[in-house]
Amino acid sequence: MLRASLLLLVVLPAAAETASVSPVRWESWSNGVFARARKEHRLVLLDLEAVWCHWCHVMDKTTYQDPRVVALLAERYIAVKVDQDARPDLSGRYQDYGWPATVIFDAGGRELAKRRGYIAPEGMAGMLKAFADDPTPGPSVRPERRNGTARSASLTAALREELERRHVESYDDDAGGWGTGHKYVDWPSVEYALQRAGQGDAEAERRARQTLTAGLALLDPAWGGVYQYSTGGVWSEPHFEKLAQFQGELMRLYALSYRRLGDESYLRAAREIARFVASFLTSPEGGFYASQDADLVPGEHSADYFALDDGARRRLGVPRVDRHVYARENGWLIRGLAELTQATREPETLRAAVRAAEWVLAHRALPGGGFAHGEEDAGGPFLGDTLAMAQAFLALHTATGESRWLERAEECAHYLEETWRRRSPRRRQAQSGAEQNAALVRLGVELARRTGKDFYRGIARQAMRYLAAPAVARAEPPAPLLLADWDLRDTSR
């Protein structure tokens, strides 16, 4: 493992040096940006990118090198570039628009336009000029949904039936997976199918098996690890970025599926993901890095490169690894390794999980039981970091039986209650969202089971009241809500 990490450090600079120098003067996100915009009578352009994202690189090499775009930005705008992995608040707000996501604001912070994905130079220049001439919100800006909360801490029978129907109807019976566009292993949907299969639902088991088996095509045969998704409604056209979340969640899911279904190919998949994490995403101190880039040369498609074997790839270089060590990403990976430990009882896997947890405790812990996102934690603290680490601690408690991990998970829950539950509902919901509220329900339920304390069940019920509001439930993917509802009803029986 150490030898692979050292080799990675040697070859990474060769790939990184090919990045283009931008003629755009990029600023960091802050309130000062809008103060300056008011003073100088400018608009603000936010380029919310992912450092691993192919089309973000393409925009940097084309759109933001175009003389018309550069001139318009210099004359009429303050240009802001943000790595969405570093700012979960902005990422959560605009995740439906990218990546890259392009947002234009007036000087008062009002959104004028929100655009998804790659924008060619001509389109960008036209958009920049149009809003500079007439700063009126365009059709891409819609009023924010006002959600409220439900009275009951569970889905109504009618709403549950509606979500169940959506879950089934969105399944692709031909190719597997939920949805027919991008193909990826949607872990909440598969996990919910496994829950149903455990109750004797043969169709749910078929869906889970078909998706898990089809998803094996997203494993990198040379280095291990899993690609994020495939395009074109098939499993054979992957985008090659490897994100910590996908490694952690799919390692966990494949290990869990092996334990539930007994298919050896699922265990091999979990081990292959762990191999990639050990070789490419593990820092010398034991914490986990955030991602590996989709491109060897930023902006150039890398299908031919990823078709090569290990030796041929390394002779050309290695795609950039984002060496930020975020608490949230570490929580996802620790949880995956702990679940794999349950399947294999291999001590090396558990040691890697424990070592990372101890690193995060030493370098990201906040007073009171919470966690910072990164070293600087701009905009934080965020709910997701403490929530992911709480889930990781529970998984370590299951894998080891050691009470210290359960105590850490309880500290996280108390921090979340103190920090988030007492904020205004509107501010709380804006920062947490449906997916994290669903995870919070399941965390509270599991802590209540292990400790017998109603306090944690109260946390779960409060989060479920947000999810059970029809406006939320009908606007979100059904599987996370169905899992949360399932767990809460199960513990209440």
Q: Are residues 268 and 330 in the same domain?
A: yes
Q: Are residues 379 and 262 in the same domain?
A: yes
What local confidence, expressed as pLDDT, does residue 3 receive?
Answer: 35
Per the structure, the complete domain to which residue 64 belongs is given by: 19-133
Domains: count for the chain: 2
Structure confidence by residue, pLDDT tens digits, 85-131: 999 999 988 887 668 999 999 999 999 999 999 999 999 999 999 99
Is the distance from CB of 399 to CB of 338 less than 8 angstroms?
yes
Structure confidence by residue, pLDDT tens digits, 381-434: 999 999 999 999 999 999 999 999 999 999 999 999 998 766 644 455 545 688
Q: Are residues 124 and 165 in the same domain?
A: no
Handedness of CA 441, 443, 445, 447 (dihedral sign): negative
Structure confidence by residue, pLDDT tens digits, 131-157: 999 999 988 887 766 666 777 889 999
Rounded Cα distance between 153 and 469, Å, is 10
Is the distance from CB of 448 to CB of 454 less than 8 angstroms?
yes
What is the SS3 assignment for 126-175? HHHHHHHHCCCCCCCCCCCCCCCCCCCCCCCHHHHHHHHHHHHHCECCCC
The long-range contacts involving 400-405, CB below 8 angstroms and separated by at least 24 positions, are 400/350, 400/354, 405/357
What local confidence, expressed as pLDDT, does residue 145 receive?
Answer: 61
Q: How many CB atoms lie within 10 A of CB 106?
A: 18
Rounded Cα distance between 24 and 77, Å, is 11
Q: Are residues 237 and 112 in the same domain?
A: no
Domain-terminating residue out of 133, 166, 191: 133
What local confidence, expressed as pLDDT, does residue 7 receive?
Answer: 36
Q: What angle do CA 319, 324, 325 make, to 5 degrees?
A: 120
* CA separation, residue 330 to residues 234, 254, 304, 380, 416 (Å): 30, 18, 31, 17, 18
Phi-psi region of 368 (alpha: psi -120 to 50; beta: other; left: phi over 0): left
Residue 479 covered by a domain: yes
What local confidence, expressed as pLDDT, does residue 212 receive?
Answer: 98
Q: What angle do CA 182, 486, 186 make, to 5 degrees?
A: 15
Residue 141 covered by a domain: no
Structure confidence by residue, pLDDT tens digits, 321-358: 999 999 999 999 999 999 999 999 999 999 999 999 99
Average pLDDT in the chain? 92
What local confidence, expressed as pLDDT, does residue 97 receive?
Answer: 60
- The more confident residue out of 427 and 380 is 380
Instruction: Assess whether the previous peptide bond of 367 is cis (omega < 30° from 0).
Output: no
Q: Are residues 184 and 116 in the same domain?
A: no
- The SS3 assignment for 373 reads coil
Q: Are residues 126 and 163 in the same domain?
A: no
Q: What is the CATH number of the domain that holds 54?
A: 3.40.30.10
Residue 389 covered by a domain: yes
Residue 147 covered by a domain: no
What local confidence, expressed as pLDDT, does residue 433 receive?
Answer: 81
Structure confidence by residue, pLDDT tens digits, 176-205: 999 888 999 999 999 999 999 999 999 999
Write down the pTM of the prediction: 0.92
Question: In terms of residues, how long is the chain?
Answer: 493
Mean pLDDT of 32-46: 97
Q: Are residues 78 and 179 in the same domain?
A: no
Q: What angle do CA 454, 488, 365 make, to 5 degrees?
A: 65
pLDDT for residue 293 is more than 70:
yes
pLDDT for residue 11 is more than 70:
no
Q: Are residues 29 and 85 in the same domain?
A: yes
Tokens of 67: 């003389």
Alpha-carbon Rg for the chain in angstroms: 23
Q: Are residues 90 and 197 in the same domain?
A: no
Residue 486 covered by a domain: yes
Q: Are residues 256 and 293 in the same domain?
A: yes
Residue 1 covered by a domain: no
Q: What is the CATH number of the domain that holds 479?
A: 1.50.10.10
pLDDT for residue 255 is more than 90:
yes
pLDDT for residue 287 is more than 90:
yes
Residue with tokens 């010398």: 284
DSSP state of 423: S
Mean pLDDT of 463-469: 94
The DSSP line for 230-287 is: ESTTSSSSEE--EEHHHHHHHHHHHHHHHHHH--HHHHHHHHHHHHHHHHHSB-TTS-
Residue 350 covered by a domain: yes
Q: Are residues 331 and 414 in the same domain?
A: yes
Residue 139 covered by a domain: no
Q: Are residues 278 and 219 in the same domain?
A: yes
* 345-359 burial code (b ≥16 CB/10 A, e <16): eeeebbebbbbbbeb
Q: How confident is the model at residue 376 (pLDDT cuts 50, 70, 90)?
A: confident
Q: What are phi and psi of 116, to 5 degrees?
A: -100, 130
